């Protein structure tokens, strides 16, 4: 018996486990697949690097850089394997076992410090967990450059961080360098718009940022790439140390760590206005309406005419930036299939100089306005009336009034025939006063402003009588009645903003939390209190733009003229945040020292 146990006792545990597995398999619910265990959420770990970080005398010919991980990986984004200073051709890569091997088509320069960044490039092969990133610094010479600069790149209008922007340093201080040369050092911004250009020389640079759409590491103004620049020359003052927070790689979800990084420079990205002037687009929208657009703003037009159309029959209107011109023929008679428009304006010649030029633009009638429309059967009601809209929102009626907009310019109007009245809670009607003004930027747009203070609980009616307005097509309007009341939701809140020390013209916008929608807007040039009533609970931002040239728009910058876009600031609360949290049923008051903000 003792021999039996000595012989078979070690086998008993194995047999029990095997029997349990076999039994459970035979009794398993075959409709439920095995769970496979917990999901892998751990990103790859870098276990070996070649050459070692900070290596010198790295060969310039057939250079290979190896990043070995603790598991099999894949390259998610080849564009994120970024070499600084960049070469004409991007780095190549191949996967070898658990390693990513990076190579280059051309030889590296001798006696130069390079950095290779693989942030946002590599993920594990199974679950796609992203490797936080790493920057390898090495030198092909005797020494390794040891300085660094940091900063943030943001949109000039929203001040939101811009991801994936190329930040560039140039030793060449000529204005043309960014158009013709690749930088001596470069890097990409992360999700927070943050950049750290490390292992650079201790010298003076020009600092730029470019939304490099074609990835050539130069600025292509003709491709409408976004650009930013630092007003002054920069020189690094910080020595690279891998223990610095600015150098470390963080998960972009680690808000506290990402925001704690030091920022030395702030770059505002903008799209330049083109410098060349010419007509770039045209379209005839209907029987009597068309438009032309210019490449650059503020087109200088001496005269404009259409063949066989009397000058007094022509109506034109520029947009606010004067790069788009609307054209109407004020003649109800049938117009030819092709209008021959002549524009006498200042055009950029082959030498880049503005010279007088007369250009013929042929405007062909759209197909839908051809023979098919001549049939009564194909005509719609809106084809036979002066089409217009009236917009009035309860939340903004006190600020913006009723907004009239006609589809075509009107040649006969009778705004004194409008009827505006109120109905109180007792259903008593009262005729009310109003004023009418034409929009200074749109000759088809009119504002009807109530002449009384609107009351909660009242209903306000505006009636447009039949056949009181005639447009250039010879058509009259239909009647229309619009009703509006002030919001009566008890949960709505309001905010008043006291603007002090206002010494210039400013545009004040109330934006939503994402800063992608303007909810209310004011233009001011003196101290005043701005009212924002009927606000739903939520988070908002106050954007203030300095309108130095007082043209009512946010002007962009110009690189060659060293002109930054007009300054934009967001109101910062006492706790350092920019979001105003407005609860339900609250009356808030904020005070802003505008002069202090923009000093």
Assign 3-class secondary structure to 258-301.
Answer: HHCCCCCEEEEEEECCCCCCCEEEEEECCCCEEEEEECCCCCCE
In a domain, 7, yes or no: no
Contact 230, 267 (CB under 8 A): yes
Q: Which residue has the tokens 């095995």?
A: 34
Give the DSSP per-residue string, 20-34: HHHHHHHHS-TTS--
List pLDDT tens digits, range 168-193: 999 999 999 999 999 999 999 999 99
510 and 478 together in one domain: no
CA distance 550 to 558: 18
Residue 4 has pLDDT above 60, yes or no: no
Residue 5 has pLDDT above 60, yes or no: no
423, burial (CB in 10 Å: exposed 0-12, middle 13-18, buried 19+): middle
Residue 38 has pLDDT above 70, yes or no: no
CA distance 490 to 343: 57
pLDDT band at 408 (very low <50, low <70, confident <90, very high): very high
Specify the range with the lowest mean pLDDT, choosing from 4-8, 32-36, 323-327, 485-489: 4-8
The residue out of 465, 484, 503 marking a domain boundary is 484
220 and 316 together in one domain: no
Q: Which are the contacts of 561, defined by CB distance < 8 A and separation ≥ 6?
A: none
List pLDDT tens digits, range 261-319: 999 999 999 999 888 999 999 999 999 999 999 999 999 999 999 999 999 999 999 99
Q: Are strands 226-229 and 206-210 parallel, antiparallel or unpaired?
A: antiparallel
Q: How many CA atoms lie within 13 A of 548 on its CB side?
A: 10
- The secondary element (H helix, E strand) that includes residue 375 is none
The helix/strand/coil state of 79 is: helix
Q: How many CA atoms lie within 13 A of 253 on its CB side?
A: 2
Residue 113 has pLDDT above 70, yes or no: yes
Mean pLDDT of the chain: 91
What is the pLDDT, as a whole number, of residue 183? 97
Walk across the sheet containing 324-329 and list its strands: 279-284, 289-294, 324-329, 314-318
| CATH assignment of the domain containing 182 | 2.60.40.1220
216 and 126 together in one domain: yes
The residue out of 467, 484, 501 marking a domain boundary is 484
- Residue that wins the pLDDT comparison between 484 and 125: 484
CA distance 278 to 349: 9
List pLDDT tens digits, range 11-29: 444 344 334 433 333 334 3
Closest CA to 515 of 85, 160, 83, 87: 160
Contact 401, 447 (CB under 8 A): yes
CA distance 272 to 218: 15
Domain region containing 335: 279-372
236 and 294 together in one domain: no
Residue 377 has pLDDT above 50, yes or no: yes
497 and 559 together in one domain: yes
Six-digit token string for 507 = 């545009």
116 and 63 together in one domain: yes
Q: Which are the contacts of 8, defined by CB distance < 8 A and separation ≥ 6?
A: none
Six-digit token string for 443 = 């000759």
The model carries a pTM of: 0.81
Contact 407, 471 (CB under 8 A): yes
Six-digit token string for 309 = 């159309």
CA distance 493 to 587: 6
CA distance 288 to 328: 5
CA distance 556 to 229: 13
List pLDDT tens digits, range 197-213: 999 999 999 999 999 99
235 and 308 together in one domain: no
Interval 91-107 mean pLDDT:
96
- Residue that wins the pLDDT comparison between 375 and 132: 132
The residue out of 225, 250, 271 marking a domain boundary is 271
pLDDT band at 381 (very low <50, low <70, confident <90, very high): confident
Interval 341-369 mean pLDDT:
93
CA distance 242 to 137: 11
In a domain, 39, yes or no: no
Percent of the chain with pLDDT over 70: 92
Percent of the chain with pLDDT over 90: 81
Number of independent structural domains in the chain: 4
pLDDT band at 3 (very low <50, low <70, confident <90, very high): very low
List pLDDT tens digits, range 414-473: 999 999 999 999 999 999 999 999 999 999 999 999 999 999 999 999 999 999 999 999
What is the pLDDT, as a whole number, of residue 369? 61
Residue 576 has pLDDT above 90, yes or no: no
List pLDDT tens digits, range 557-573: 999 989 999 999 999 99
365 and 402 together in one domain: no
Please give the DSSP secondary-structure letter assigned to residue 161.
Answer: B
Q: Tell me, rounded to whole angstroms, the distance of Cα 254 from its chain centroid.
A: 24
Residue 1 has pLDDT above 80, yes or no: no
229 and 358 together in one domain: no
In a domain, 377, yes or no: no
Please give the DSSP secondary-structure letter assigned to residue 126.
Answer: T
Q: List beta partners, residue 289.
A: 328
Q: Are strands 528-535 and 493-500 parallel, antiparallel or unpaired?
A: antiparallel
Please give the DSSP secondary-structure letter assigned to residue 153.
Answer: E
What is the pLDDT, as a whole number, of residue 375? 55
Q: List beta partners, residue 483.
A: 461
Interval 540-561 mean pLDDT:
91
Walk across the sheet containing 459-464 and list its strands: 429-431, 419-423, 459-464, 480-484
Six-digit token string for 476 = 């009259």
527 and 564 together in one domain: yes
In a domain, 226, yes or no: yes
265 and 337 together in one domain: no
262 and 193 together in one domain: yes
The helix/strand/coil state of 240 is: coil
Six-digit token string for 509 = 């916008």
């Amino acid at each position: 018996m003792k021999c039996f146990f000595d012989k078979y006792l070690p086998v008993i545990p194995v047999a029990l486990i095997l029997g349990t597995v076999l039994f459970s398999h035979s009794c398993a619910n075959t409709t439920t697949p095995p769970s496979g265990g917990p999901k892998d959420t751990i990103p790859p770990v870098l276990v070996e690097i070649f050459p070692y970080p900070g290596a010198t005398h790295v060969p310039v010919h057939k250079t290979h850089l190896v990043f070995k991980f603790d598991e099999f990986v894949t390259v998610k984004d080849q564009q994120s394997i970024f070499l600084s200073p960049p070469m004409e051709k991007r780095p190549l890569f191949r996967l070898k076992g658990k390693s990513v091997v990076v190579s280059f088509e051309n030889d590296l320069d001798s006696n130069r410090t390079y950095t290779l960044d693989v942030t946002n490039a590599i993920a594990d092969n199974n679950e796609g967990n992203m490797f936080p990133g790493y920057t390898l610094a090495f030198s092909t010479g005797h020494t390794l450059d040891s300085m660094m600069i940091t900063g943030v790149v943001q949109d000039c209008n929203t001040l939101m961080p811009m991801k994936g922007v190329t930040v560039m340093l140039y030793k060449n201080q000529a204005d043309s360098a960014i158009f013709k040369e690749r930088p001596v050092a470069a890097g990409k911004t992360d999700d927070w718009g943050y950049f750290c250009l490390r292992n650079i020389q201790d010298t003076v640079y020009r600092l730029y940022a470019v939304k490099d759409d074609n990835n050539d590491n130069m600025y292509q103004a003709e491709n409408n790439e976004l650009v930013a620049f630092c007003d002054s020359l920069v020189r690094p003052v910080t020595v690279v140390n891998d223990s610095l927070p600015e150098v470390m790689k963080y998960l972009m979800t680690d808000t506290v760590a990402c925001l704690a990084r030091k920022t030395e420079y702030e770059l505002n990205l903008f799209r330049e206005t083109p410098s060349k002037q010419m007509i770039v687009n045209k379209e005839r929208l209907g029987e009597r309406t068309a438009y032309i657009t210019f490449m650059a703003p503020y087109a200088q037009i001496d005269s404009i005419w259409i063949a066989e159309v009397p000058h007094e029959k022509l109506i034109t209107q520029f947009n606010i930036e004067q790069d788009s011109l609307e054209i109407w023929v004020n003649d109800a008679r049938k117009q030819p299939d092709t209008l021959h428009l002549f524009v006498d304006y200042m055009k950029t010649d082959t030498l880049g100089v503005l010279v007088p030029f007369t250009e013929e633009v042929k405007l062909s009638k759209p197909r839908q306005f051809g023979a098919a429309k001549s049939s009564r059967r194909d005509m719609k009601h809106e084809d036979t009336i002066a089409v217009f809209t009236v917009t009035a929102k309860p939340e903004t009626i006190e600020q913006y009034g009723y907004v009239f907009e006609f589809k075509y310019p009107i040649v006969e109007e009778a705004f004194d025939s409008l009827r505006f009245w109120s109905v109180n809670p007792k259903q008593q009607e009262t005729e009310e006063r109003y004023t009418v003004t034409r929009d200074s930027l749109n000759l088809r747009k009119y504002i009807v402003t109530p002449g009384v203070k609107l009351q909660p609980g009242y209903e306000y009616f505006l009636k447009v009588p039949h056949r009181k307005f005639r447009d250039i097509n010879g058509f009259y309007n239909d009647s229309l009645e619009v009703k509006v009341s002030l919001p009566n939701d008890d949960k709505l809140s309001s905010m008043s903003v006291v603007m002090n020390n206002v010494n210039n013209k400013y545009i004040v916008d109330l934006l939503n939390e994402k800063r992608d929608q303007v909810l209310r807007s004011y233009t001011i040039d003196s101290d005043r209190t701005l009212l924002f009533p009927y606000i739903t609970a939520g988070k908002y931002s106050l954007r203030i733009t300095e309108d130095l040239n007082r043209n009512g728009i946010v002007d962009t910058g110009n690189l060659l003229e060293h002109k930054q876009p007009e300054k934009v600031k967001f109101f910062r609360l006492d706790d350092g945040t920019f979001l105003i949290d407005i609860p339900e049923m609250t009356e808030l008051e904020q005070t802003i020292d505008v002069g202090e903000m923009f000093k």
